Amino acid sequence: MCYACSPPSARRGPRSSPGPRRRRAKDPYDDLIRRPHRPRVRRRPRAGDAHRRPRLGREQDPAGERPADQAHRGVAPRGEPHRRHRARRGGDATGRRDRQRAAEVHQRRYRLRRRPRDQDGRHHAARLSHQRGHPADPHRGGAGDRPLARQDRPRPGAGEGLTAFPPDNALSRGLEHHKAGRWQQAAGLYLEFLATHPAHPAALHLLGDASCRLGDPETGIALIRKAIALKPDYAEALNNLGAQLLALGRRDQALASFRAAVRCKTQLLAPLINLASLLVERGEAEEAIGLARRATQRDPSSVEAARTLASALRATGRLAESAVVCEQLVRRYPTSADLHNDLGFALASLGRSDEARASYLRSLELAPDSAHPLNNLGTLCRAQGRLDEAVEFFRRALSATPTFAEAMHNLGEALAAMGRTDEAVTALRQSLAWRPELAEAWNSLGNALRQQGDDEAGASAYREALRAQPGHAGALNNLGLLQWHHGEVSAAIGSFREALRSQPDFDRAHSNLLFALHGEPSTTPAELLAESRAFELRHAPPRASLARPHHPDRTPGRRLRVGYLSPDLRQHSCAYFLEPLLGAHQREAFELFAYAEVRRPDAVTARLRSLFDHWRSTVGLSDAALVEQIRADRIDVLVDLAGHSADNRLTALLARPAPVQVTWLGYPGTTGLSTLDYRLTDHCSDPEGESDAFHSERLLRLDGGLHCYLPHADAPEVSPLPSSRDGHITFGSFNQLAKMNDGVVAAWSRILRAVQGSRLLLKSSALSQPSARSRVLDAFASHGVAAERLELLAWTASTRDHLQLYQRVDLALDPFPYNGTATTCEALWMGVPVLSLAGGRHSARVGHSLLSLVGHPELVASSVDDHVDRAVELASDPSRLAALRASLRDEMRASPLCDAPRFARSVEDAFRRMWSALP
């Protein structure tokens, strides 16, 4: 199974507001600092007041607006009533004046960009970390670096008592320095003021913020807490305390601080938006939607409130609603580059790739030096398999913003997908050097380290991702895959379940869970069916709109259009069973279409491609796009070859793109999907009366077996019996460690103890890892088998070298209850008899099916004791072993297992019967 997952992305706030520049925006603190407070006389409201009132930047620090600000409502000074700043948009005079004011705010922000600042990473460290609702979202880390926490400078109402002092007092002068970014001078004046007014909340808050900016966050936080103790409903200080705590990674404390700010009787938007953003990160997006809606109701003109709502909607899988919000913003501000970038991200989440690309390009037209649309264009290309183009976009983004951590992370992922693993690891480590709290980069680093063959380091990186973001679904899923690979099946099942709790619509984790359950001996067929049906219940509703009725062409005897959907049209064990069928199909009666989810084609891909009439790459296609492609091809029978194995496209099949849908080959059980009509099997693997009740599909049993094997063209010749040369019997198993449960180890240990001097040769890629080797050795040692009786191998240079290892094996042992398939066929072709144990479900009876097809049902045991007895008996009869070794290849070649024309006729007859059964 693949261990890549769907990461998040962060978004950047709009850097400018549309509209022409007219005049300088008035600083709302000018009156506060430069003249004493004069209470205003409230007059009767008049038409047009909304556009006359000054607008404040929503993202505010304690002494000035940040460049990424948009609209926010201020709090009036003491003695002045609260005012609601509602701006109307449109073509009338009021709308034009609103746009004028927006332009003035933009000019002020531009000046503020040029002032000295502390490291933005301190205040921009926390980002949205996962796009819940679209685990396969290609735009991980893509849309920008919008800060999660917004700070508010103390407003006039917050600096209570400030106007009681002369305009040239130390606090007022300190605030002037604060606004100019001169934190050291500001701090000195605040200390001077506090010497005579030690319990002044605003001064303590300002000094705390200055301390944080000067690199002493602990002192700054303590001062802000002191201000809050003096004034418990100090909303600005509570909000800024949350921002500082979040920058230090103290998310739980930040959450409590934002909640306290929201509870205050304040008109501030920032606490609502910050709390909503943090809840999205924590996977609590439903509550976030409510908060974001409150923010948009409080100020309908607030861009940041609307953007937060769009993010929360996307996190809950309500992608269409999220896109609508983004489209509305773009209509209101058509010249905002950042909003076009947001819209592109929303459209990409919906699978509308062409429209997304157009939005990103429009963003670049408006802001040619913007790194974020370049980064998103790269993620779009990467998802479509255009890796060279993706790398170029990521490098351009890094040229525009040299320390853009998300772009460096995405570059690392693209390089890893190209097989340039060393470069990928370097890029990912650099991304983490810039932003060590970036959970997605830790997750991707784990994947890249595993590609390098270092599972231990990969697991450590996944755990770092979980420390950075507890409940990170991608890291949990990847940790589960690693545990499965190492044979820790129960732990893997737990990780997959935890990933689903964190992200309920994570279909890849759900498929991995179902696959892993086949390796758990205690799982019953009824439990597998129930767990599998839950997949459709959870993932079908978002795709219900894709389903449409079919009107098939019922012309008798016409050529049927058959599609094969698979990620394994490459060097993969499934190819050995598919290729003979494709080569033997009657092309005059069947037109063949390939739907290939193949990211890295190889020589096997090229060979298989030549056997199809039509080849469609599905890499980067959304479910909607894949469904439309299959419909456009007018497929009559669609064959899924993956089931719940890696890189499957089962979620697209929930929309039933073909009138007849079948599953076969790549998965050892029911998919649980009601939209899959049939499952091809045989009488031995799924006996009548025993298996049918535990499948959502109708079982269609092929008389000559459900497999047809194509031996490797470069397979070595069968060797003499190894024990005649070595002086001892060597048992062997080349299956995944996930199939070697405690019951298997116990049974095989009994065999080794009973056969004097015997050895066991195990081969699995996981055995390259020290921890996996230790686990296997310890397991056998607990049953009295010394380490010197085991030989553990992990890797061979070629398939021929792999097959040559069978020349060292006298008798192969099949694991249970999850039997081998390709490994059993390989062993038989190399003349090595395989001892299997038939169980109570499909995955436990495949060995029985294969051995029956080659004419050796006597090699199938009915119980663990029978399995041990047969192994000991056969190992004690070297002449029988030698005879089997000499005859097995010829027997297999002449058996139904290698009779491609017969198998193809059987499958084609099944397709015709399925087609005829349509109503």
pLDDT digits (tens, 9 = 90+) for 517-526: 999 999 999 9
pLDDT digits (tens, 9 = 90+) for 819-854: 999 999 999 999 999 999 999 999 999 999 999 999
Strands 678-681 and 698-701: parallel
Select the highest-mean-pLDDT range: 162-171, 275-284, 410-419. Answer: 410-419
Is pLDDT of 558 > 50?
yes
| Contact (CB, 8 A) for 686 and 678 | no
| Phi, psi values for residue 444, rounded to 5° | -65, -35
pLDDT at residue 345 in the model = 92
| Residue range 134-152: mean pLDDT, rounded | 39
d(CA 200, CA 172): 13
Low-confidence winner among 75-79, 385-389, 633-637, 860-864 (lowest mean pLDDT): 75-79
pLDDT at residue 150 in the model = 56
List the alpha helices (DSSP H) in 158-200: 170-179, 183-196
Which of the 8 DSSP states describes residue 118?
Answer: -
Low-confidence winner among 102-106, 206-210, 584-588 (lowest mean pLDDT): 102-106
| Contact (CB, 8 A) for 560 and 580 | no
Low-confidence winner among 91-95, 200-204, 325-329, 381-385 (lowest mean pLDDT): 91-95
Please report the DSSP string for 531-600 in residue order. HHHHHHHHHSGGGGGG---------TTPPEEEEEEES-SSSSTTHHHHHHHHHHS-TTTEEEEEEE--SS
Res. 283 pLDDT band, cuts 50 70 90: confident
pLDDT at residue 182 in the model = 94
pLDDT digits (tens, 9 = 90+) for 772-814: 999 999 999 999 999 999 999 998 999 999 999 999 999 999 9
pLDDT at residue 115 in the model = 36
Is pLDDT of 596 > 80?
yes
pLDDT at residue 826 in the model = 98
Res. 167 pLDDT band, cuts 50 70 90: low
| Residue range 199-219: mean pLDDT, rounded | 95
d(CA 284, CA 325): 20
| Residue range 614-623: mean pLDDT, rounded | 94
d(CA 874, CA 248): 66
Is pLDDT of 77 > 90?
no
Res. 149 pLDDT band, cuts 50 70 90: low
| Contact (CB, 8 A) for 680 and 666 | no
pLDDT at residue 151 in the model = 60
Is pLDDT of 23 > 80?
no
Give the mean pLDDT of the chain: 85
Is pLDDT of 160 > 90?
no
| Residue range 215-237: mean pLDDT, rounded | 96
Residues present in the chain in total: 919
pTM of the model: 0.76
Res. 919 pLDDT band, cuts 50 70 90: confident
Select the highest-mean-pLDDT range: 24-38, 59-73, 653-667. Answer: 653-667
pLDDT digits (tens, 9 = 90+) for 753-769: 999 999 999 999 999 99
Taking alpha carbons only, the member of 591, 590, 594 closest to residue 570 is 594
d(CA 346, CA 390): 19
> How many other CB atoms are there within 10 angstroms of residue 281's CB atom?
27
pLDDT at residue 317 in the model = 77
pLDDT at residue 249 in the model = 83
Res. 152 pLDDT band, cuts 50 70 90: low
pLDDT digits (tens, 9 = 90+) for 726-749: 999 999 999 999 999 999 999 999
pLDDT at residue 168 in the model = 64
Low-confidence winner among 74-83, 374-383, 793-802 (lowest mean pLDDT): 74-83
Comparison of pLDDT for 137 and 594, the residue scoring more: 594
With H, G, I as helix, E, B as strand and everything else as coil, classify residue 761: strand
pLDDT at residue 556 in the model = 87
pLDDT digits (tens, 9 = 90+) for 453-508: 999 999 999 999 999 999 999 999 999 999 999 999 999 999 999 999 999 999 99
d(CA 587, CA 793): 43
Res. 230 pLDDT band, cuts 50 70 90: very high
Low-confidence winner among 107-111, 614-618, 627-631, 638-642 (lowest mean pLDDT): 107-111
| Contact (CB, 8 A) for 841 and 525 | yes
| Residue range 435-445: mean pLDDT, rounded | 96
Is pLDDT of 163 > 90?
no
| Residue range 387-416: mean pLDDT, rounded | 98
**Rounded to whole angstroms, what are the CA distances from 465 to 432, 469, 506, 606, 766?**
11, 6, 17, 38, 22
Q: Mind listing the domains of the chain with CATH numbers?
A: 150-266 (1.25.40.10), 548-708 (3.40.50.11380), 722-898 (3.40.50.2000)
Comparison of pLDDT for 45 and 876, the residue scoring more: 876
Distance, C-alpha 728 to centroid of its chain = 49
| Phi, psi values for residue 508, rounded to 5° | -65, -45
**Percentage of residues in the chain having pLDDT higher than 70:** 82
Res. 59 pLDDT band, cuts 50 70 90: very low
Sign of CA pseudo-dihedral 275, 280, 284, 286: positive
Q: Which two tokens stand for residue 153?
A: 């400078």
| Phi, psi values for residue 713, rounded to 5° | -65, -25
